Amino acid sequence: MRVAILTSGGDCPGINATIRGVCKTAINHYGMEVLGIHSGFQGLLTCDAELLTDKSLSGLLNLGGTILGTSREKPFKKGGIMPDVDKPALIEENIRKLGIDCLVCIGGNGTQKTAAKLSARGVNVVSVPKTIDNDIWGTDFSFGFDSAVNIATDAIDRLHSTASAHKRVMVIEVMGHKAGWIALYSGMAGGGDVILIPEIPYHINNIADTILNRLKRGKPYSIVVVAEGISTGDNKRAAVHIAQEIEFATGIETRETVLGYIQRGGSPTPFDRNLSTRMGGHATELIVNGSYGRMVALSGDKIGSIPLQEVAGKLKLVTEAHDLVVQGRRMGICFG
């Protein structure tokens, strides 16, 4: 049996550990052949592939990025490379040409959508959820999230001392796309005083009251964690907008930090390495059992899978009933 594997969308820690989990199980345990497709769906359009061997899988567990490369090519959407070509048909033709029996897609929401569409056309596909944003429907966690939260929490920890020394308000913007998972988890773990996420509307007066109340209680500095996806009403970055509003409303010197791509780089945490290994292994099990059209998913501590058609087009967002929000509010943290 010949399996192909690709990584698509933004990279994140744990992709290589997942490639390793899929390929070592497929090659060493099941005697399959594995073809690595370069640069996501772009490589399926151009037949850019290499045969992976046990040797090419060494040193991957803690390696950031993706050895296969990635792209944001979406073959069912207009744009990208080969704009005048029927890309889904070309992909099907290339899958036949390369002798691929099943395609493993490692990616975020866009990738799950593409995988679902290919599956609906009859291509044998299984997928693994990958994103620091943790916003993929149907899985409790995606790998990459824990690593990003660790990096963001470390950054917030470091802001406390400089904020305290200067008696400033420090605003830190973290990633997450349209979801507030990274802001919520790192904000709570890092002791943020205000946490703003796209799912909960905010009013600048509530934020200012929280900061001024802290000042009255002898706490002259505050940490504000904002998700990049909050609405600002202007074109400014979330952190810049919020920092300016806070300084204007409180009169306290305020600085902003945008953490950016550091959250996506470097090696995965032990939690993400093990999640990647388990998810990659399970993807291979799905192939062996002929359970195509499914995405590997974590539910509680169990790895299982759900139909791609159920995942595609949905977003998993934070709700106000999440226990970190409920508990945070009870402890006086302002969510807007």
Binding site residues, ligand F6P, CB under 6 A: 10, 108, 131-133, 175-177, 228, 264
Q: Find where tokens 């803690």 sit.
A: 62
Question: Whose Cβ is closer to ligand F6P: residue 9's or residue 75's?
Answer: 9
Q: Whole-angstrom Cα distance, residue 249 to residue 139?
A: 40
As measured in angstroms, the least distance from the Cβ of 2 to ligand F6P is 30
Instruction: Report which of 17, 11, 50, 16 is spatially closest to residue 33, judged by C-alpha positions.
Output: 50
Beta-carbon neighbour count of residue 223 at 10 Å? 23
> Encoding tokens for residue 146?
């824990």
Question: Whose Cβ is closer to ligand F6P: residue 40's or residue 176's?
Answer: 176
Contact 18, 280 (CB under 8 A): yes
* 3-state class (DSSP) for residue 37: strand
Residue nearest to ligand F6P (CB): 175
As measured in angstroms, the least distance from the Cβ of 110 to ligand F6P is 9
As measured in angstroms, the least distance from the Cβ of 72 to ligand F6P is 6
**Which residues are the active-site residues?**
133
As measured in angstroms, the least distance from the Cβ of 153 to ligand F6P is 16
Question: Whose Cβ is closer to ligand F6P: residue 228's or residue 245's?
Answer: 228
Contact 92, 121 (CB under 8 A): yes
Q: Whole-angstrom Cα distance, residue 288 to residue 298?
A: 19
Question: Whose Cβ is closer to ligand F6P: residue 4's or residue 279's?
Answer: 279
* 3-state class (DSSP) for residue 305: strand
